[in-house]
Chain A
Amino acid sequence: MKTKENVLLNIKNLHVWYKVYGGYLKVLNGVHLMVREGERVGLVGEAGCGKTTTMKSILQILPPGEFHIPQGQIFYKGQDILKISFKELQRLRSREIAMIFQDPTAALNPVFTIGNQIGDVIKYSAAFEENVHKEKIKTLSIKVLKEVYLPDSERIYLNYPFQLSGGMRQRVCIAMAISSPRNLLIADEPGTSLDVTIQDQIMRLLNEIVEKRKTSIILITHSLGVAKEMTDRIYVMYAGAIVETALPEVLFKNPVHPYTKGLLASVPKISGGGIAKGIPGKLPSYLNPPSGCRFQPRCEQESPICSEKPPQLFEIEKDHLVACYLTQR
């Protein structure tokens, strides 16, 4: 089943720089990521490691004029979407890929009703195929609100975002994302700003939607527990590069990269056992990043080659890739 034809999204060696006063912030440094059809992919990493930048460069919603892509390709269904025309890009954004943002309060416009905002999504995405009648937009919106288990959806259709709670707002955002047929959902930390019980509900909802609609999903999270429960494959990201990727069972049983090991040990467990030391140091400055492996200043097992050039992803066993010189000796 996992043949090459089924690859939906393939990011190859993506570099993204942001323009700032002192030069360029070299945020992404060669990201490789692959999503197959129907696959649930988790992207795990700490704050500031470039998870959201990667996702925003797929949809090309990075701040205009403030970024630069020196190299890299993003293939969606075999087509390099960094080179397509604006009209094709609009179609991609409204019919193919949808994104769910971290903070539902910021993602919804406070001066329009929920119905209005969902209606817009349906109207513009349908415009690529056919014109939809106003009444039909309303019935479709209410149907999609019911699908995300919002109680009393007729009333919520008329509500403004501030009248809803955080969990309900996130459900509305999910409803917007699935209101027209999509092949890929990008969920950018959908539960992080919510309480643990609400996060659990949102995750179960997303899982159900993905299974029912057979879409692929990229789930960005900094919680390794969420990634383990929700995904078929995990990518671990550090300072703008993928450092390790494996199936969840393999990754949690046999982490190889020193960063993955440190990250896994830092997670407190409900079965007790204390907390490990954590990882010393902090993320490098993106203005002048280390020339070799970006984890090298924090790594306890560094060797001279580490500061020369960045390590490439290397397959140590089937479906388990690691970017570290330790594995390549």
Chain B
Amino acid sequence: MKQATNNEILKIEKLKKYFHIGKDKKGPIYVRAVDGVTLSIKYGETLGLVGESGSGKSTIAYTVVGMYRPTSGQIMFKGKNIGIEASRRSLSSKKEIQIVFQDPGSSLNPRQTIEQILALPFRIHTQMPKRQFREKMVELLEKVELSPDYLYKSPPSIGGGEKQMVAIARAMASNPSLIVLDEPTSALDVSVQAKIINKLIDLQKEMHLTYLFITHDLSLMRNVANRIAIMYLGKICEVADSVTFFEKPLHPYTQMLISSVPVITEEEKKLKPKKVISIGEIPSPVNIPPGCSFHLRCPYKMSLCSKVDPEMIEVFPGHIVRCHLFAKLENKKQERSDWCEEESAIY
């Protein structure tokens, strides 16, 4: 990861976002939504950010697009620090980063027509004369397989999948290079989801886009993302490429997540770790447990876990884990085959 600094489009370093919610005798109380996250996204890849609700994944999305100002830490976009709220960012950096929200019913204004919705990015980000807008908008709608007569419809009169397609078209309008997808299909049915995901993959190839894909659906990520990062209570637990991630999950939380996914085929059943079953619930981000935040639910917990917060360890090239179980492996840097034996020794 270290050598590849020049092909990173976005680099998040030690990002923290605390929300002040009140105070008591000890001082102010914060919700520690994002607590020291370091992540990087390469040009043209899809990074899947997965976590349970309350893990802070949407907060990262909103901080990247500038809806929140980070408490501390840096967000480097194409080498420039953009760790400030959107109102203070330059227009060109805003043009490059766009977002698609979870619920298209509330992210599109129901009182506007699709034409008005799609015209806004052109008005802000281009010097194009108004009479050329229509042509461009029809082009955009064609990209998401909607006919030009949708321009005169309003969001409430079209279906959920079509609304999300309009939201995607709006994000594409300013010709961005990074799109943050905040659970774009979780409000939709599987048959509609399949259509939208395929469209997103096609558009990525066509327009050379980079995606930060936020979701809680692991099986979707296996088919969409190049790399997956798992979040738990504002911290990253594990980062790996999507194949390794399912075939050799290291962090106990990742194993718990994969073993909880309901599956259909026998092939999938083989991938499920049998030793870790889901117990407990995600603690409140106001009272994050000391040490490793996962130790209350972890089946492999040691006495060290409740005292010391583990560091990020690169166990294999590109495979990063935050867990004490792997600390001793760091120095050895073994081959993957050796590791398999090591694993059975630990568990």
Contacts and interface: CB of A to CB of B under 8 A. Distances in A.
Nearest to A202: B278
Given A47-B189, A198-B281, A264 B223 contact: no
A226 interface: yes
Contact of A196 (B194, B198, B243, B260): B260
B193 A278 contact: yes
A177 B192 CA distance: 34
A282 B161 contact: yes
Interface in A188-244: 195-201, 203-204, 222-226, 228-229
Interface in B211-263: 216-220, 222-224, 242-243, 246, 256-263
B285 to A, nearest CB: 13
B191 A279 contact: yes
A273 interface: yes
Contacts of A204: 277
Contact of A266 (B194, B222, B246, B258): B194
A276 interface: yes
Interface residues of B, number: 42
Interface string B269-310: 001000001110110000000000000000000000000000
A268 B222 contact: yes
B159 interface: yes
A269 B264 contact: yes
Interface string B40-66: 000000000000110000000000000
Interface in A249-283: 252, 262-280, 282
A203 B278 CA distance: 11
B194 to A, nearest CB: 3
A46 B278 contact: no
A115 interface: no
Instruction: Report whether over half of chain B's contact residues are helix, strand or loop; otherwise say mixed.
Output: helix
B265 interface: yes
Interface residues of A, number: 42
Nearest to A191: B262
A197 B262 contact: no
Contacts of A199: 260, 262
A175 to B, nearest CB: 17
A90 interface: no
A222 B191 CA distance: 11
A328 interface: no
B246 A270 contact: yes
B190 interface: yes
Contacts of A229: 262-263
B195 interface: yes
B191 A270 contact: no
Nearest to B272: A270
A167 interface: yes
A262 B191 CA distance: 7
Nearest to B158: A282
B338 interface: no
Given A196-B217, A204-B277, A225-B264, 18 more contacts: A197-B52, A197-B256, A199-B260, A229-B263, A265-B194, A266-B191, A267-B219, A269-B223, A270-B219, A270-B261, A270-B263, A271-B222, A271-B246, A271-B271, A275-B223, A278-B195, A279-B194, A282-B161
Interface of B: 52-53, 159, 161, 189-195, 197-198, 216-220, 222-224, 242-243, 246, 256-265, 267-268, 271, 277-279, 281-282
State the 9 A-B residue pairs at the shortest beta-carbon distance, nearest first.
Answer: A225-B262, A278-B194, A200-B260, A278-B195, A279-B191, A266-B194, A46-B189, A197-B278, A195-B52
26 contacts: A195-B52, A195-B216, A196-B216, A196-B257, A197-B256, A197-B257, A197-B260, A198-B278, A198-B281, A200-B260, A223-B262, A224-B190, A224-B262, A228-B262, A229-B262, A252-B264, A263-B191, A268-B222, A268-B223, A269-B222, A269-B265, A269-B268, A270-B261, A272-B246, A277-B195, A279-B191
